[in-house]
Amino acid sequence: MSEALLSLNGVSVRRGSSLVLNDVSLDVASGQLVLLRDKNGAGKSTIIEVAVGLLPLEKGEVLHSGDVLIDASGRSKRPKSAFGLTLQSDGCVGSLRVEEHLLNALDLAGGRVDIDPWLERYNLAHRKHDLIAHLSGGQRRKVAMLAGLLPGFVGQAPRILLLDEPAAGLDAASRALLVEDLHKLRNRGNAILLASHHTDFTACATHLLTENSMETNEAFEESKEITDDMKSSSQKNNPAFRTGFLLNQRTLSTVASNGIAGFLTLGILLALVDVSAADSSLMQASGLFLSAAFAAGLVGDNMVSMLHEHRALDWWKAHRQGIPNSYIHGLFLGAGLTALTQLGFDANVSWPLVAIGGLLTISTMLMVRWMDLATSRLARPRAAFTRILTPILILPFALLVQWITDSGLL
Amino acid sequence: MTKRLAEVILLLGFIGIGMTLGLAFLKAPSVSINAFESPDAQRIFYWHVPAAWAAFIAFGFLFVGSALWFFKRSDLGWRMHVAGAQAGLATGLMTVWSGMVWGSAEWGVPWDWTDVRLNTFGLLTFLAMFLVLGRQAQPDGVETRDTFSTFGLFGFVLVPVTYVATRLWQIRHPGPVIGGGESGSLNGEMALILLLGAVSFTVFITGHVLMSMRITSLEQRLERIQEAKDEV
C-alpha cells in the first residue's frame, strides 16, 4: 500500500461533556475512498472536522502526507498541500456569489480550473453570478460540494478531499453525477474521506469505516475508464484578503457598524463639547480628535460575525490561509473620522494624526477581532460577552494620547 | 460539620469584615490633614486594601484552576476556575467601587484612565465578569472550559503587572503601604486594623471559594443524573 495521505492515529475527541471519538485510527492513501457510514451521532462529522484540524484532540495526532497537522499537545501546522473541504453546514457566506466561493476554494488549493463546465453539469450555470443567499438549500449544497471537489482537479499531485454529507438535499440525478465525479477524483490519485448515509456511494468506496474499524469494501466497483481531461493553471492569490474586501464593498459592513459608532461619537462630541476646548489643552484636543476613530475600532471586525453564517468561519479556519478581514476599510474609516473630527472642531488637519487615527481604528479592531475569534469555538459564540473585555484598550488609548501630547505632534 | 465548613468560614469572614469596618470608623486614628485632601475618606483604606488583597488571592485561584483544567483536564481545576472567577468578581468590584469613592474625595475624580494600576486592576475585574457571565451563557463542556481557562491563563499576566504598577509607573495611585519603604509606613494601631481586615477578607474569600466549588460540584452531579435519565 502507498503512503497514507491522511492519517488519524489513536485520536480521541471530546465534545461538550461526552467523548465523541475514542482511540480512532485510520489511513487514507492515494486512490482510496473511505466511506464513513455510521448511524447519527456516531461521530462522522467529528472525524471530518478532526481530519482538517478544526477540533482539539484529547489524544492522538492527525497527519497530512506524513506531517503532523495537529496533535494532542495543541501543536498545529499548516499542511504543505491544500485540501478540499465540504462541511456539513456548507461553509459559505450568503453575501458571496457562487463563482466567487468556488474560485476561493480553487485559490486556496493554489490553482484554477474552468468552473463553467461544472456549473453546467450540476445545473448551476444560470446561477453563477447570483449571491449564495439567493439559492435554494439544495443549490447551496451543490456549491458547497463543488468547493470540496474542485481542489482535487488542481495540479498533478494527489490531494486529500474531505466531504461531509455532500449529497444531503441533492436529487437522484445529481447524486449519480457526484458518484461519477468521485470515481474521477479517485482515479486521479486523490485520497477521499466521505461521510454519508446515502447508499449511492457504497459502490465507489474502496473502504468502509464502521464503528472505528476499517474494512475493504466488497461491493466496490472498479471504474478505471472514468477519467477526466481537466486542465488546471497554477495561481498565487490571496483569497482571504480578496473576500474580505469584496464582502465589505458589497455589504458596507464596516461603514454600517464601525462607521456608525464613529459618526455617533463624533456627533455627540460636537453637540456636547465646546469647540474652544480643542484649543485649551493639547491633551484634551488629541483625545477629542481620536475618540471617533477609537469608538469605530471598538466595534470590532464585523467580518467575524458575518462568517458565522453556515460555519463559513470554520471553513476558512480549516484552510489555515487567513480569514477575511476588514482592515483596509477600517484604516480609511479611522483616518477619515480623525480628519472630520478636526474639521468639526475648526482645527487645522494634522496629517500625522489622521494616519494615527487610521492605525488606531485598525489596531483596536484587530484586538476585538482576536477576542471574537478566541471565543468562536464556544457552543454560543455570540453569547460570550467579549465586549466586557474592551476596556483593556482604553489604557493604551490614554497612553497614546499622552504620547501625542508629549511629542508635540499637534 | 464538614458539610457546613464553607458556611462557617464564610460567616467568620463576614464577622471579621464587620469588626474591621467598625474599628475603621470608630477606633482608627485620624490621619494628618496636611497629608490628605480628604482625611475622613482615608478610612475607606481599611476596606479597600484588604478587598484588593482578597481579589489577588481569588485571581490566584482562578489561575491555578485554569492551568489545572487546561493542562491536566482536572475537574477540581475547573471548579477552582469557576470559584476564583466568582470570588474575583465580588472582591474586585468591592475594591474598584471603594477606590472610586475614595478617589472622588481625595483626587477629585473617581478614575484616571492613564493610571496603570487602576486600569489593570479594573481590567482584572472585567475579566472576572466576562468569565462569570460568559460561562453562565454557555453549556458546560470542553469547548467552554478550554476557552474560558485560556482567558484565565492570559488574564493572570495582569496580576504581576498590577502589583508592580505603582512601583514602576506611579501616576496617581499611591505606592504600597507595606513593604514599600519609608513612604509606606503605618503606625501600630492602623497596621493592626489593616491586619484584621486582611485576615477577615482572606477567611471570607476562602469560605466563598469553598462554597462556590461545592455548588459547582453539585451542579455537575445534577447534570450527570439528568444525562443518565436522558439515556433511559
Residue of B nearest to A386 (CA): B130
Model confidence at A263, in pLDDT bands (50, 70, 90)? very high
Query: For A396, which residue in chain B has the nearest alpha carbon?
Result: B114
Predicted pLDDT of residue A405: 85
Q: Is the pLDDT of residue A377 over 70?
A: yes
Q: Which residues of B touch A388 (CB under 8 A)?
A: 126, 129-130, 133
pLDDT, mean over chain A: 90
On whether the CB atoms of residues A379 and B148 are closer than 8 A, the answer is: no
Comparison of pLDDT for B139 and A116, the residue scoring more? A116
CA distance A221 to chain B (A): 40
E strands, A16-55, in order: 18-29, 33-36
Alpha-carbon span A121 to A103, nearest angstrom: 17
Q: Smallest Cβ distance to B141: which of A16, A399, A402?
A: A16
Rounded average pLDDT over A261-290: 84
* pTM assigned to the model: 0.83
- pLDDT at position A398: 86
CB contact under 8 A, B119 and A394: yes
Residues B30 and B59: their CA atoms lie apart, in Å, by 32
Nearest-Cα distance to chain A for B127, in Å, is 6
User: Sign (positive/negative) of CA torsion A168, A173, A177, A179?
Assistant: positive
A298 or A73, greater pLDDT:
A298
ipTM confidence: 0.72
Size of interface A-B (CB pairs under 8 A): 80
Provide the shortest C-alpha distance from residue B42 to chain A (in Å): 26
Query: Would you state the pLDDT for residue A37?
Result: 86
Q: Out of B126, B140, B141, name the one closest to residue A388 (CB).
A: B126
Closest by CA to A96, choosing from A121, A125, A64, A128, is A128
The pLDDT > 70 percentage for chain A reads: 97
- Distance from chain centroid for Cα A120: 26
Instruction: Tell me the β-bridge partners of A161.
Output: A84, A192
Residue numbers in A near B130 (CB within 8 A) = 385-386, 388-389
The least confident of A60-74, A248-262, A299-313, B99-113 is B99-113
> Does A16 contact B140 at a Cβ distance shorter than 8 Å?
yes
Comparing alpha-carbon positions, the chain A residue that sits nearest to B121 is A392
User: Given a cut of 60, is residue A212 above it in pLDDT?
Assistant: yes
Question: Which residues fall within 8 angstroms of residue B97, CB to CB, at 6 or more apart?
Answer: none
- Determine contact, residues B102/B41, Cβ cutoff 8 Å: yes
Band of pLDDT at residue B181, cut at 50, 70 and 90: low
pLDDT of residue B208: 94
Nearest CA in chain A to B134: A384
The residue in chain B having the minimum alpha-carbon distance to the alpha carbon of residue A73 is B71
The pLDDT score that the predictor gives to residue A206 is: 94
Q: Check if the beta carbon of residue B205 is closer than 8 Å to that of residue B15.
A: no
Which range is least confidently modeled, A350-359, B34-43, B143-152?
Answer: B34-43
Q: Quick one: pLDDT at residue A100?
A: 96
Q: What is the Cα–Cα distance from B106 to A126, expressed in whole angstroms?
A: 72
**Taking residues A384-389, what's their average pLDDT?**
86
Taking CB atoms and an 8 Å cutoff, what residues of chain B touch A402? Answer: 114
Between residues B168 and A265, which one has the greater pLDDT? A265
Does B113 sit within 8 Å of A395, measured CB to CB? Answer: yes
Core vs surface per residue A318-343: b (16+ CB within 10 A) or e: bbbbebbbbbebbbebbbbbbbbbbe
Q: Give the per-residue pLDDT at B119.
A: 85
Distance from the A215 Cα atom to the nearest Cα atom in chain B, whole angstroms? 30
Q: What percent of chain B has pLDDT over 70?
A: 88
Out of A377, A385, A398, whose CB is closest to B143?
A: A377
Mean pLDDT calculated for residue range A224-246: 81
pLDDT (0 to 100) of residue B175: 64
The model's pLDDT over A102-134, given as tens digits with 9 standing for 90+, comes to: 999 999 999 999 999 999 999 999 999 999 999
The Cα B70–Cα B188 span in angstroms is: 44
Cβ-defined contact of B119 to A386 (cutoff 8 Å): no
**Where would I find the H helices in A219-259?**
239-251, 253
Task: Find the CB nearest A378 among B127, B144, B227.
Answer: B144
Strand partners for A29: A4
Q: Which of B215, B229, B231, B207 is nearest to B87 (CA)?
A: B207
Determine the residue among B123, B136, B169, B222 to mutate to test chain A binding: the one whose Cβ has the most chain A Cβ atoms within 10 Å.
B123
Residues of B at the A interface, defined by Cβ within 8 angstroms: 73, 113-114, 116, 119-120, 122-123, 126-127, 129-130, 133-134, 137-144, 146-147, 150-151, 223, 227
What b/e string do you get for B153-178 counting C-beta neighbours within 10 Å, with b at 16 or more? bebbebbebbeebbeeeeebbeeeee
* DSSP summary character for residue A2: P
The helix (H) or strand (E) run that includes residue B51 is helix B45-72
Contact A391 B119 (CB under 8 A): yes
